[in-house]
C-alpha cells in the first residue's frame, strides 16, 4: 500500500479530511492537479472567504434547502463553532458579521488557504500534483486510484472530494461524478444554484453596473410569493446578479426557471400609502418640475426612464399634470418592478452545483459509499447544498470531518 488514505482533490473537503485522519496518526496522500491546494477557497466570499456561519445547528438546517437530514450527524460532530475554534487555533483570527457570517479578520481568503497548507506540511501530508482518471476496484472494494499519467496509488481507503462543476477553472470539472458513476453510483443531475439570472427585459442591459442596496426582492411561482429578502443586487448585461439574486436562485427548485418571476421593491422602507404621500409632497413642492427630474431624489437615475416607460409617462411631464391614477401607478411600479426570468446563467458561473452523488447511497455517519466498500465522499460532490452565508464551506468541512474520522477508525 502506498498510503493508508488516498484523498482525491485538494479543496476544502479533501484537505480537511486528510488533516482529520492525520490526527489519528494515519498516513494520507492528497492528489491534486493544481499547483496549490484550495484554488476555489481562494476566491470564496469575493476573496474574503465566508468560512462558516456562526449559528445553531437547527438554524443551520434551515439554510439547507434539500437533503438536510443527511447532514444532521456530520454537522453535530463538526459544528460551525468547531470550525471557528479550529482556524483560530491555527492562528487565523476570525470575525462574525451581519447574518452570522464568519470571515478572517484580515478579510483575506488566502490566510485560510495558507493556514491549511502549513498544517499539511506540519503533519507531513504530501500533496502530489496528479489528476485522477479512475478508481481502482478489486474484489468489489475500492483499493485506490489511477492517475492520467497511468500511476496507480493503492490505499486502504479512498476519498473522492473533487467538488462539483461550477467555476471549472478552479479544477472542479465533474471528474468525481464520472468516476463515482462508473463504480455504480447514481448522480443526481448537476444544475446551477446560487447563480445569476438572465431576464427577458432588455432594459436591464441599460442599467448594467447599477448596484441596488437595501431593496427587497420577491420571487414568485404561479403568482405565489415563495421567497422575499432584503439586501443588495446588481444589474448586468444579461439580467441580474448579486447576493439577493443568488439566494433567490436557490429557491427555484424542480420547475423550469421560466415558471418563476421576480419583483423588486425599490422602497421597502415605505408602504404603498406612505410612498404615495411622499410623491404627493414632492409634486406639490415642485409643481412645475418634470417628473424625470423629481424622481432623482427618490430613485437611481438609470431606473427612472425604465419605470416611467412601464407606466407610459413621459419624463418631461410636469408634476402638476400628473393625475392621481398615474401617481398611484408610479408608486405601484416603484414597489413592484417586475423582471421576467429567461434562464439561469450556466453552471460554470454558479457559486455551487446542486445535484451530485445520491445521498441514499452514502452512509450519513461515515460518508462511506453503501455500494463500494472503502470508498468515501466529502464536500460539494455530494447532492447537498446550502444558501449563501458560509453554509457550503461548512458542509465541506463537516462531511470531511466525518469521512476523515471514519477512515482513520477503520480496521486496516
Ligand X SMILES: Cc1cc2nc3c(=O)[nH]c(=O)nc-3n(C[C@H](O)[C@H](O)[C@H](O)COP(=O)(O)OP(=O)(O)OC[C@H]3O[C@@H](n4cnc5c(N)ncnc54)[C@H](O)[C@@H]3O)c2cc1C
| Contact residues: ligand X, CB under 6 A | 8-14, 31-34, 39-41, 43-45, 49-50, 131-132, 161-163, 166-167, 170-173, 175, 351-352, 379-380, 390-393, 396
Question: Closer to ligand X at the Cβ: 235 or 391?
Answer: 391
Helix/strand/coil (H, E, C) string of the chain?
A: CCEEEEEECCCHHHHHHHHHHHCCCCCEEEECCCCCCCHHHHHHHHHCCCCEECCCHHHHHHCCCCCHHHHHHHHHHCCHHHHHHHHHHCCCCEEEEHHHEEEECCCCHHHHHHHHHHHHHHCCCCEECCCEEEEEEECCEEEEEEECCCCEEEEEEEEECCCCCCCHHHCCCCHHHHHHHHCCCCEEEEEEECCCEEECCCHHHHCCCCEEEEEEEEEEECCEEEEEEEEEEEECCCEEECHHHHHHHCCCCCCCHHHEEEEEECCCCCCHHHHHHHHHHHHHHCCCCEHHHHHHHCCCHHHHHHHHHHCCCCCCCEHHHCCHHHHHHHHHHHHCEEEEEEEECCHHHCCEEEEEECHHHECCCCCEECCCCCEEECHHHECCCCCCCCHHHHHHHHHHHHHHHHHHHCCC
Minimum CB separation of residue 336 from ligand X in Å reads 31
Question: Closer to ligand X at the Cβ: 31 or 234?
Answer: 31
Minimum CB separation of residue 254 from ligand X in Å reads 22
Contacts of 223 (CB under 8 A, 6+ apart): none
Question: Closer to ligand X at the Cβ: 6 or 372?
Answer: 6
Question: Closer to ligand X at the Cβ: 161 or 303?
Answer: 161
Question: Closer to ligand X at the Cβ: 164 or 299?
Answer: 164
Question: Closer to ligand X at the Cβ: 172 or 216?
Answer: 172
Minimum CB separation of residue 271 from ligand X in Å reads 34
Question: Closer to ligand X at the Cβ: 216 or 398?
Answer: 398
Minimum CB separation of residue 80 from ligand X in Å reads 10
Question: Closer to ligand X at the Cβ: 3 or 173?
Answer: 173
Minimum CB separation of residue 243 from ligand X in Å reads 11
Question: Closer to ligand X at the Cβ: 179 or 295?
Answer: 179
Minimum CB separation of residue 212 from ligand X in Å reads 21
β-strands 3-8, 152-160 pairing = parallel
Minimum CB separation of residue 277 from ligand X in Å reads 41
Minimum CB separation of residue 343 from ligand X in Å reads 19
Minimum CB separation of residue 296 from ligand X in Å reads 35
Neighbouring C-beta atoms of residue 199, cutoff 10 Å: 23
Amino acid at each position: 500500500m502506498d498510503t493508508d488514505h488516498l484523498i482525491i482533490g485538494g479543496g476544502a473537503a479533501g484537505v480537511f479530511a486528510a488533516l482529520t485522519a492525520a490526527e489519528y496518526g494515519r498516513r494520507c496522500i492528497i492528489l491534486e492537479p493544481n499547483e496549490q491546494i484550495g484554488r476555489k477557497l481562494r476566491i470564496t466570499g469575493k476573496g474574503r472567504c465566508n468560512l462558516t456561519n456562526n449559528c445553531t445547528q437547527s438554524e443551520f438546517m434551515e439554510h439547507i434547502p434539500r437533503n438536510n437530514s443527511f447532514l444532521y450527524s456530520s454537522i453535530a460532530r463538526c459544528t460551525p463553532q468547531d470550525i471557528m475554534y479550529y482556524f483560530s487555533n491555527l492562528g487565523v483570527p476570525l470575525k462574525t458579521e451581519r447574518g452570522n457570517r464568519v470571515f478572517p479578520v484580515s478579510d483575506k481568503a488566502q490566510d485560510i488557504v495558507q493556514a491549511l497548507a502549513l498544517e499539511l506540511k506540519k503533519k507531513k501530508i504530501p500533496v502530489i500534483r496528479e489528476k485522477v482518471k479512475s478508481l481502482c476496484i478489486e474484489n468489489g472494494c475500492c483499493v485506490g486510484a489511477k492517475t492520467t499519467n497511468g500511476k496507480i496509488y493503492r490505499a486502504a481507503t479512498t476519498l473522492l472530494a473533487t467538488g462539483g462543476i461550477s467555476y471549472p477553472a478552479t479544477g472542479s470539472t465533474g471528474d468525481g461524478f464520472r468516476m463515482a458513476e462508473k463504480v455504480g453510483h447514481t448522480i443526481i443531475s448537476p444544475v446551477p444554484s446560487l447563480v445569476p439570472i438572465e431576464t427577458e427585459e432588455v432594459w436591464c442591459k441599460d442599467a448594467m453596473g447599477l448596484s441596488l442596496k437595501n431593496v427587497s426582492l420577491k420571487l414568485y411561482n404561479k403568482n405565489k410569493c415563495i421567497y422575499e429578502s432584503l439586501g443588495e443586487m446588481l444589474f448586468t448585461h444579461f439580467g441580474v446578479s448579486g447576493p439577493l439574486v443568488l439566494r433567490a436562485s436557490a429557491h427555484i427548485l424542480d420547475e423550469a426557471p421560466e415558471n418563476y418571476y421576480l419583483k423588486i421593491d425599490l422602497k421597502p422602507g415605505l408602504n404603498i400609502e406612505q410612498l404615495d404621500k411622499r410623491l404627493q409632497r414632492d409634486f406639490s413642492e415642485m409643481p412645475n418640475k418634470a417628473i424625470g427630474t423629481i424622481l432623482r431624489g427618490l430613485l437611481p437615475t438609470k431606473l427612472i426612464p425604465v419605470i416611467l416607460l412601464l407606466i407610459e409617462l413621459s419624463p418631461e411631464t410636469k408634476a402638476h399634470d400628473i393625475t392621481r391614477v398615474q401617481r398611484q401607478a408610479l408608486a405601484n411600479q416603484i414597489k413592484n418592478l417586475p423582471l421576467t426570468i429567461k434562464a439561469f446563467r450556466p453552471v460554470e458561473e454558479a457559486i455551487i452545483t446542486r445535484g451530485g452523488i445520491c445521498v441514499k447511497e452514502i452512509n450519513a455517519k461515515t460518508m462511506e459509499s453503501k455500494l463500494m466498500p472503502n470508498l468515501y465522499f466529502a464536500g460539494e460532490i455530494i447532492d447537498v447544498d446550502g444558501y449563501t452565508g458560509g453554509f457550503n464551506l461548512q458542509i465541506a468541512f463537516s462531511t470531511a470531518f466525518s469521512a476523515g474520522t471514519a477512515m482513520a477508525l477503520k480496521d486496516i
